[in-house]
């Protein structure tokens, strides 16, 4: 698998830092995949890997935030009743289950959701949570960027610790 990915990216002429950024931009994988790829497969330095992974993870998020609004408005304007009902139920269910805690701890909750380096937590999830709970984009941007930086630091530290143990 390692050789396949390296050959694929080399064949496309993708530089190593850009490869780390592209992998880190993917939903679900995010920098939890980009950092190990950069450190273990491409053998990049810790700081370089961290910078490119964080930049790659943050790059698509403004577009994602904007697209959530576009889809939401499109469903309302074009009277896609079935999709509107699905979204309304999803939003209502999520707000009903989590709004008491989220409203009280909004900034901390968003920061924690983004900064825990586990699957389905990260920048993409943070954008979705911020949109559903109505966190203003400027406030959400700083919280999400800080959380991504913290998560990146944690993942780099874990990968580097693993490298020290196994070498």
Taking Cα atoms as reference points, which of 93, 22, 21 lies closest to residue 51?
21
Mean pLDDT, residues 62-87: 82
Instruction: Quote the CA–CA distance of 25 and 13 in Å, as a whole number.
Output: 18
pLDDT value for 13 = 72
The tens digit of pLDDT for each residue in 110-153 reads 999 899 998 888 999 999 889 888 888 999 999 999 999 999 99
pLDDT value for 24 = 95
Which is more confident, 10 or 148?
148
- pTM of the model as a whole: 0.84
53 and 118 belong to one structural domain: no
pLDDT value for 10 = 67
Cβ neighbours around 18 below 10 Å, total: 14
Per-residue pLDDT at 155 exceeds 60: yes
Instruction: Quote the CA–CA distance of 144 and 141 in Å, as a whole number.
Output: 5
80 and 114 belong to one structural domain: yes
Domain that holds residue 13: 2-58+153-166
Which is more confident, 70 or 3?
70
102 and 130 belong to one structural domain: yes
50 and 84 belong to one structural domain: no
Which is more confident, 91 or 125?
125
52 and 65 belong to one structural domain: no
51 and 71 belong to one structural domain: no
36 and 93 belong to one structural domain: no
Domain count, the chain: 2
48 and 30 belong to one structural domain: yes
90 and 137 belong to one structural domain: yes
């Amino acid at each position: 698998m390692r050789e396949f990915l390296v050959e694929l990216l080399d064949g496309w002429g993708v530089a190593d830092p850009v490869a780390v950024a592209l992998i880190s931009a993917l939903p679900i994988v995010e920098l939890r995949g980009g950092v190990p790829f950069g450190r273990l497969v491409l053998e990049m330095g810790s700081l370089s890997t961290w910078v490119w992974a964080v930049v790659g993870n943050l790059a698509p998020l403004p577009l994602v935030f904007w697209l959530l609004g576009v889809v939401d408005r499109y469903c309302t304007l074009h009277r896609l009743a079935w999709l509107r009902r699905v979204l309304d139920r999803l939003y209502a269910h999520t707000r009903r289950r989590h709004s008491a805690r989220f409203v009280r701890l909004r900034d901390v909750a968003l920061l924690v959701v983004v900064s825990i380096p586990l699957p389905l937590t990260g920048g993409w999830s943070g954008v979705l949570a911020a949109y559903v709970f109505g966190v203003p984009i400027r406030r959400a941007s700083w919280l999400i960027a800080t959380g991504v930086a913290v998560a990146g630091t944690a993942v780099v530290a874990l990968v580097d610790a693993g490298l020290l143990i196994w070498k």
